[in-house]
Amino acid sequence: MEQYPNVFVFDHPLIKHKVSILRDKNTGMKQFRELVEEITTLMTYESMRDVPLEPVEVETPLEKTTQYRVPEESIAVVPILRAGLGMVEGIHKVFPTARVGHIGMYRDEETLEPQEYYCKLPEGIEEKTVFLVDPMLATGGSACDALSALKKRGCKKIKFMAIIAAPAGVRAVATAHPDVPVYVSTLDRELNENGYILPGLGDAGDRLYGTK
């Protein structure tokens, strides 16, 4: 598929290993949830490469030195409900003080178009680096609408992370929001007639929470 300067597809052996187990239909809910967290943590290291730092003075056992830290209030995580919730803890393992907001989207079963039904964001989110997360990037409709909702509420620096993506979804987000870095652990083949990713892993929300 076309190459977009704002799209980053990970090619790491550890991620490939964990994704292979994540896909397996015999992987149980507990292990599935743990794998989503672990893959998100691995992705977070790279996607936080350019977050702002501030100098701080640290006293070692030997002397004082200037070091650099990510400011405490500078990061926010916004999962797209409900499957995106499974990725939050993976980011918190890297940066536990990140604030968390929520955006609720559902897909109309007939039109496949996303509809927003809930949005609650941390105070001052317009000044933070915002990680919008969803395990699956299928048609891209929900992600595009969620990104637009964040921008409408003043967010200026947003990153989007998905574990499994279809080319159509990547294309949609990269085209509609060229200013947003898109981080994907695995790019799959295509969407089926029902808008599910192939080979995919089924419904991430159902597998995370045992609802089917």
Q: Which residues are catalytic?
A: 107, 111, 203, 206
Residue 184 C-beta-side C-alpha neighbours within 13 Å: 24
DSSP state of 79: E
Q: Which amino acid is present at 91?
A: I
Query: Is the CB of residue 197 less than 8 Å from the CB of residue 136?
Result: yes
Place of tokens 């056992």: 61
Q: Burial, 63: exposed, middle or buried (Cβ in 10 Å; 0-12, 13-18, 19+)?
A: exposed
The CA distance from 2 to 52, in Å, is 30
